[in-house]
Amino acid sequence: MTDYRQAETAPQPPRTTAAAPGRAAIVAAVTEALEASGQRWAWQGETGEEQRWAARTGPKDLDIWYAGEPSADDPVAVLSRRFACARVAEALDRRRLRHVSVAVETPAGPAVVDVTYGDLRVGPVLLVPGTHATVDGAHRFTGAAAMADLLVRPVLRGRLPTRDRLDEARAAWADADPGHRRALAYGLTVQLGPAVASELIAVAKGAPPAASLPRRARLRLVARSLGPGVVAATWAQRRAVLPAAGARGPLGLRTRGVVVALVGTDGSGKSTVADGLRERLGRYGLPTSSVYFGMARGNLPGVALARRVLGVGSTAPRPAGPAASSAAPVEAAAPVEAAAEKPPADHRALRRMAAWFYAGEYLWRYLSVVGPAVARRRVVIADRWVYDLRESPWPGSAAARVAEWVVPAPDLLVLPDAPAEVIHRRKPERTLAEQAGQQQRFRDLLAERPARHAELVVDTSGAAPDPLAALVAAVVQAAHGPRRRAR
């Protein structure tokens, strides 16, 4: 009997992925996209932050300010077309900070690029309107915008700036346009209160910052976030606003469990894709669990016992005549075990009942094996899913529809695919026509878009340089995004 229990894999340390881009290549690609956009833009943080980011490892963001609007030609879109990117954060409500964060798999682990659009904000607190942000030829903020970015932004995020960053902020404040200084001071006073605002301005002028300043500023930020005009936007972004705590993933953001279901005919490459995905996600820092969700004899608990009690060797239908190829079951029928066994055609009622039995077993399996792993925020990699019931043991049974309704859909439905001749060479136990027909039905299944997050086809022919890159990105995006995609 195949062991249906989950196998768990802990995160592994980063290891080189040949096809993954380096951080320097990401910086170059981002710079090229920004320059081509024709919009004003700036590196955020201290001078030289982009070079330091390219040389380091870890999840710290490369922060960029972009004056334009989100579009098909913005830096995030261009980066996503060039590399396999996962959107791990997205907030575009004008009442709060508008930004998109993407994660890219690199040889040194995941790298995150965060692009802020328009106004410079922290949550709902407006620091500098985008139209008033001044930028020099090196794409660095100047004046009041630089002080807001270098001093106010880290304080509102709960930390005091480093000495070098603070010195740079003070120099920018001293050189700022007087009108811009007055506008920033007034805006901070209105939004954060006179005590916090005056202390921030005093620090910008040279006063030492109090250790309690970030905590008091954060309290004012919370109060602002719950104001009448912005509370709805704050609630809509609550998943990103609330501290991640125990739900923190490898990027420092809140994550959730993800179910990846692999479907495909025998020989399509499901095991190869599962093994590769498990290894890549381990290097990414995401824990995984592996489960078998197929219908082969004995794999669902209780099936082998039921067959022995009922005296049958298989519950899979055996179509006859020309329909045999098109109606072949998803799993191969077990061979007849005894000469005295009645032919399957004599067990029509039994096969109908078996379909309902399988539907119940699938629900039990999800609740006892998959659900707990998802609750522990693991990525569950499942070999097959409940869609097998559409064809076996009773094609067209209402049990298949019920199973798909009561068992939650997978977050990602993945079809490893290759030319039919390649698949047949790997697993010649069935005819080429049977395998090609089954694989086409799986392609049709993906076209129904039954998954919660996305459906993907993974090339297992060996022609793609990195066939798993898009799948890894999709899993990371699903782990950080909402449960269901926008339809």
pLDDT at 306: 58
pLDDT of residue 9: 45
Residues 279 and 161 both lie in one domain: no
pLDDT for 4 equals: 39
- 287 plus 188 within the same structural domain: no
Mean pLDDT value across residues 41-54:
96
Task: Assess if residue 12 is contained within a domain.
Answer: no
* Least confident range of 192-201, 283-292, 320-329, 350-359: 320-329
189 and 297 in a single domain? The answer is no
Are residues 151 and 297 located together in one domain of the fold?
A: no
Coil, strand or helix: which one is 193?
coil
**111/7: higher pLDDT:** 111
Span 128-163, pLDDT tens digits: 999 999 999 999 999 999 999 999 999 999 999 999
Alpha helix (H) residue ranges in 381-431:
398-406, 420-426
Query: Does 315 score more than 90 pLDDT?
Result: no
Residue 332 has a pLDDT of: 36
Q: What percent of the chain has a predicted confidence (pLDDT) above 70?
A: 85
Question: Please, are residues 76 and 102 in contact by the beta-carbon 8 Å criterion?
Answer: yes
**Does residue 3 fall inside a structural domain?**
no
Same domain, yes or no: 149 and 277: no
Tokens at 157, concatenated: 């995020």
Q: Does 92 have pLDDT greater than 60?
A: yes
In a domain? residue 5: no
The reported pLDDT for the residue numbered 321 is: 35
Q: Is the pLDDT of residue 344 over 80?
A: no
Round the average pLDDT of the chain to a whole number and report it.
87
Per-residue model confidence (pLDDT) at position 18: 43
Q: Which of 196, 227, 247 is the last residue of a domain?
A: 247
245 has a pLDDT exceeding 60:
yes
**CA gap 255, 286 in Å, rounded:** 10
Residue, of 242 and 275, whose pLDDT is higher: 275
Looking at the structure, tell me whether residues 406 and 432 fall in a common domain.
yes
Q: Tokens for 317?
A: 């239908």
pLDDT per position as a tens digit, 384-424: 999 999 988 888 899 999 999 999 999 999 999 999 999 99
Q: Which of 103-117, 318-332, 431-445 has the lowest mean pLDDT?
A: 318-332
State the Cα torsion 416-417-422-428 to the nearest 10°: 60
228-251: average pLDDT:
91
Do 329 and 230 share a structural domain? Answer: no
Q: For the chain, how many structural domains are there in total?
A: 2
* Domain closes at, from 198, 228, 247: 247
- Which residues sit opposite 122 in a β-bridge? 125
CA distances from 367 to 72, 363, 364, 370, 404 (A): 41, 6, 5, 6, 14
**Contacts (Cβ under 8 Å, ≥6 apart) of 411:** 258, 259, 260, 451, 452, 453, 454, 478, 483
Highest mean pLDDT among 5-19, 254-268, 292-306 belongs to: 254-268
For residue range 449-485, list pLDDT tens digits in order.
999 999 999 999 999 999 999 999 999 999 999 877 7
Please check whether residue 9 lies inside any domain of the structure.
no
CB atoms under 10 Å from CB of 171, counted, come to 13
Same domain? 154 vs 123: yes
Secondary element (H or E) of residue 65: strand 61-66
Of 247, 280, 302, at which residue does a domain stop? Answer: 247
pLDDT of the residue at 362: 92
Unique residue bearing structure tokens 């005819």: 431
Shared-domain flag, residues 397 and 329: yes
The bridge status of strand 412-417 relative to strand 258-262 is parallel
The residue-averaged pLDDT of 278-286 equals: 93
Is the same domain home to 303 and 414?
A: yes
Query: Is residue 355 assigned to a domain?
Result: yes
Query: With 60 as the cut, is the pLDDT of residue 1 above it?
Result: no
- Looking at the structure, do residues 292 and 223 belong to the same domain, yes or no? no
Place of tokens 């009690």: 309
DSSP string covering 16-39: --TTSPPHHHHHHHHHHHHHHH-S
Structural domain boundaries enclosing 310: 258-480
Examine the domain organization and report whether 237 and 368 are in the same domain.
Answer: no
- Residue 67 in any domain: the answer is yes
- Under 8 Å between Cβ of 263 and 413: yes
- Is 10 part of a structural domain of the chain? no
Residue 193: is its pLDDT beyond 70? yes
CATH number at residue 380: 3.40.50.300
pLDDT confidence bin for 376, thresholds 50/70/90: very high
With 60 as the cut, is the pLDDT of residue 310 above it? no
Residue 307: closest CA among 293, 295, 294, 297: 297
pTM: 0.85
Question: Residue 2 domain-assigned?
Answer: no
Report the pLDDT averaged over residues 45-60: 92
